């Protein structure tokens, strides 16, 4: 009897494996491969010379250069800021460290393009509130800072991307054996000598890992450059792809240029990920182990409260100020008026939510797309994760690679890939429909589902399923009655980890939307481009409220699940 059941189970596992690979190939691998094919093959023939010609065009070359300049400035700045604050909250006696640590994580959940919109209102050369304040009260003849510049774009990205380094370095510092630091202190070394010569070198792999993630994200980032760069003729790769395709109405030349630029992003992403793994896998810094230590706390003495005030000022300037400006501008009767109570009203928010069809539909589209993508990806992720974690079948490594591929591929690449795959060339035309955005969301966020569900499944011991099977339950009954109830917290976490980012998503949606399929991010961006600053700010304020509520729900479920 047992000898007959094993082949059946093996065959079922192979079937699940085949279906899982088919889903990931169709949704993820096929669109990415189409980009590479369209970049290098012209009229059925391999043509590398035409790729070089496109990259040598002044506009495309400048976009590549701009991407490198912005990404480099952002990476250097974010690394310095993230490492400094991580050191403060983990290795010093800074007051209220737990609160400060949670506040430094807040930018991680806020959309940077909404922050860019706020800083545009604050520091645009002609109408920015801060620039106007200094001109009116301190006798300046021109703006004190032009946000439409490389420094402005990089500065805003630093505010929202430094948590990548902050999280990595905090983890490394908390796990680091403090013996060497204590030995140096006993030998008479001072605070800054210990930090410079011992602490920083030991956590260097974590610093570099976070810095490379920032480089990858910044190279592929659309929102901040679109809001602050295009107005001054600064395009990076994603914004140039968007401009070329939308201005030309999707012509062949524009698509071809887009695929070449997207290929550059794919190659860059692959190199950065390879470099990151090389650094983390070098094994030269194994003094940082998995064991948890109580880190040595360095005494700041007279610097304690000045540094606390500095941290609070940074949070106020980078988080509270732009957030307050978004809500205040969204409440103005007309943009340009002062923030006097007589000029403020909630009418814009009422109009956005109930009366204006464009924004009402955008909110509905975002919530519906986010919910649908989260449900589909959550269940697909459970199935694929089960194959990866629990089934002993050949080929499951392919699943893991395909599932994580979108995590390392820029959103603009995913968007361009689904345009090529589902615009009628292969018999299915989803272009200008809501379905093409849904397919792109599923591809983009599959990695989130795999990570959350795999972590939950790792905690389910194989003996529980074996005991269920021994009592006569089928494989499906064991999954339904044993596995799914145990991994439910992980599934909920996966749902919200997909639902929340999809609500604020812009990079994918801006490439795929039609007049009737705008999302919240697209509506905010297009309203701002059309000069409807007050309306875009009001919608951005509503989006921030939805995001904060959603993040609170995520925190609740992840704490409940012990994640």
What pLDDT does residue 313 have? 95
Secondary structure in 3-state letters for 6-49: HHHHHHHHHHHHHHHHHHHHHHHHHHHHHHHHHHHEECCEECHH
Residue 201 lies in a domain: no
Residue 449 lies in a domain: yes
Total number of domains in the chain: 1
List all residues 6 or more positions away from 535 whose beta carbon is below 8 Å from its beta carbon. 348, 351, 352, 356, 359, 527
Residue 466 lies in a domain: yes
**C-alpha pair distances (Å), 206 with each of 171, 274, 462:** 9, 15, 33
292, with CB counted inside 10 A (0-12, 13-18, 19+), is exposed
CA angle 442–446–450, rounded 5-degree value = 155
Q: CA 339, CA 328: separation in Å to the nearest integer?
A: 7
SS3 at position 339? coil
Q: CA 265, CA 278: separation in Å to the nearest integer?
A: 20
Q: CA 308, CA 313: separation in Å to the nearest integer?
A: 9
Q: Domain of 353?
A: 22-35+344-562
SS3 at position 441? helix
Residue 386 lies in a domain: yes
Token pair 């009954």 is found at 477
The bridge status of strand 41-42 relative to strand 45-46 is antiparallel
Q: CA 48, CA 402: separation in Å to the nearest integer?
A: 27
List all residues 6 or more positions away from 297 whose beta carbon is below 8 Å from its beta carbon. 91, 92, 93
Residue 437 lies in a domain: yes
Count of C-beta atoms within a 10 Å radius of residue 29: 18
Q: CA 551, CA 323: separation in Å to the nearest integer?
A: 16
pTM for the full model? 0.83
What pLDDT does residue 5 have? 42
Phi, psi of 42 (to 5 degrees): -120, 125
* Strand-pair partners of 429: 423
In contact, 3 and 380? CB cutoff 8 Å: no
CATH assignment at residue 379: 1.10.3720.10
Largest CA distance in the chain: 92
* Strand-pair partners of 344: 332
Q: CA 129, CA 206: separation in Å to the nearest integer?
A: 39
Residue 461 lies in a domain: yes
What pLDDT does residue 561 have? 53
Count of C-beta atoms within a 10 Å radius of residue 253: 10
In contact, 35 and 413? CB cutoff 8 Å: yes
List all residues 6 or more positions away from 516 whose beta carbon is below 8 Å from its beta carbon. 361
Q: In which region does residue 424 sit, left (phi positive, over 0), alpha (psi from -120 to 50) or beta (all else)?
A: left
In contact, 154 and 70? CB cutoff 8 Å: yes
Residue 469 lies in a domain: yes
Count of C-beta atoms within a 10 Å radius of residue 519: 31
Nearest CA to 211 out of 80, 73, 82, 79 is that of: 79
Q: pLDDT tens per residue, the chain (563 residues)?
A: 444 444 444 456 667 777 778 888 888 888 888 888 888 888 778 888 888 888 888 998 999 999 999 999 999 999 999 999 998 998 888 998 889 998 998 888 888 899 999 999 999 988 888 988 888 888 888 888 889 999 999 999 999 999 989 988 888 887 776 777 777 778 777 767 877 778 788 888 888 888 988 998 898 889 999 999 988 899 999 999 888 888 776 677 788 888 888 888 888 888 887 887 777 665 544 444 445 456 667 778 888 899 999 999 999 999 999 999 999 999 998 888 888 888 999 999 999 999 899 999 999 999 999 999 999 998 888 888 887 777 776 766 777 777 777 776 778 888 888 988 988 888 889 888 999 999 999 988 888 888 777 777 877 777 776 787 778 776 667 777 777 777 777 787 788 878 888 888 888 999 899 888 999 999 999 999 888 999 999 999 999 998 888 777 777 766 655 55
List all residues 6 or more positions away from 136 whose beta carbon is below 8 Å from its beta carbon. none
What pLDDT does residue 403 have? 75
Q: CA 324, CA 332: separation in Å to the nearest integer?
A: 13
Residue 4 lies in a domain: no
Token pair 């043509």 is found at 47
Phi, psi of 332 (to 5 degrees): -70, 145
* Rg of the chain, C-alpha, whole Å: 25
């Amino acid at each position: 009897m047992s000898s007959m059941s094993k082949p059946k189970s093996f065959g079922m596992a192979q079937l699940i494996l085949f279906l899982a690979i088919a889903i990931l190939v169709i949704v993820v691998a096929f669109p990415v491969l189409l980009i590479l094919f369209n970049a290098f093959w012209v009229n059925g023939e391999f043509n590398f010379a035409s790729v070089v010609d496109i990259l040598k065009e002044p506009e495309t070359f400048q976009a590549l250069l701009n991407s490198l300049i912005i990404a480099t400035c952002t990476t250097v700045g974010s690394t310095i800021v993230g490492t400094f604050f991580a050191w403060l909250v983990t290795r010093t006696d800074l007051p209220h460290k737990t609160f400060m640590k949670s506040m430094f994580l807040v930018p991680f959940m806020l959309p940077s393009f909404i922050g860019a919109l706020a800083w545009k209102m604050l520091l645009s050369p002609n109408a920015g509130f801060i620039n106007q304040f200094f001109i009116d009260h301190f006798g300046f003849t021109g703006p004190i800072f032009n946000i439409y510049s490389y420094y402005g774009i990089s500065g805003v990205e630093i505010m929202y991307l430094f948590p990548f380094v902050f999280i990595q370095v905090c983890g490394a510092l908390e796990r680091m054996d403090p013996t060497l630091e204590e030995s140096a202190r006993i030998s008479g070394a001072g605070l800054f000598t210990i930090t410079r010569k011992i602490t920083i070198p030991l956590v260097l792999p974590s610093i570099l890992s976070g810095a490379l993630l920032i480089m990858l994200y910044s190279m592929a980032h659309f929102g901040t450059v679109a809001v602050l760069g295009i107005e001054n003729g600064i395009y990076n790769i994603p914004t140039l792809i968007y401009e070329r395709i939308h201005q030309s109405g999707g012509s062949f030349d524009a698509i071809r240029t887009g695929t070449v630029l997207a290929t550059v992003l794919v190659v860059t992403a692959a190199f950065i990920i390879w470099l990151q793994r090389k650094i983390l896998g070098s094994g030269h810094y194994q003094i940082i182990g998995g064991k948890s230590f109580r880190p040595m706390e360095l005494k700041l003495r007279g610097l304690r409260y000045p540094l606390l005030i500095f941290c609070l000022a940074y949070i106020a300037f980078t988080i509270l100020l732009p957030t307050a400006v978004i809500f205040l501008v969204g409440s103005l009767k007309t943009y340009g008026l002062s923030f006097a109570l007589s000029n403020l009203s909630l009418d814009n928010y009422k109009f956005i939510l109930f009366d204006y069809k464009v924004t009402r539909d955008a909110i509905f589209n975002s919530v519906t797309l986010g919910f649908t993508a989260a449900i589909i990806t959550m269940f697909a992720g459970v199935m694929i994760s089960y194959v990866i974690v629990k089934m002993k079948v050949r080929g499951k490594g392919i699943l893991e690679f395909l599932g994580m591929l979108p995590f390392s591929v820029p959103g603009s690449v995913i968007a361009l890939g689904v345009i090529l795959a589902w615009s009628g060339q292969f018999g299915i035309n989803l272009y200008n429909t809501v379905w093409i955005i849904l397919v792109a969301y599923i591809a983009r966020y599959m990695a989130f589902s795999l990570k959350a569900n795999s972590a939950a499944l790792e905690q389910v011991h194989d003996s529980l399923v074996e005991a269920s099977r021994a009592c006569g339950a089928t494989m499906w009954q064991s999954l339904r009655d044993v596995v799914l109830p145990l991994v439910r917290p992980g599934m909920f976490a996966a749902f919200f980890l997909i639902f929340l980012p999809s609500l604020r998503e812009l990079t994918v949606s801006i490439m795929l939307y039609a007049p009737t399929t705008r999302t919240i991010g697209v509506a905010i961006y297009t309203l701002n481009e059309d000069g409807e600053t007050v309306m875009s700010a009001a919608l951005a304020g509503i989006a921030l409220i939805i995001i904060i509520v959603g993040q609170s729900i995520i925190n609740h479920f992840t704490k409940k699940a012990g994640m």
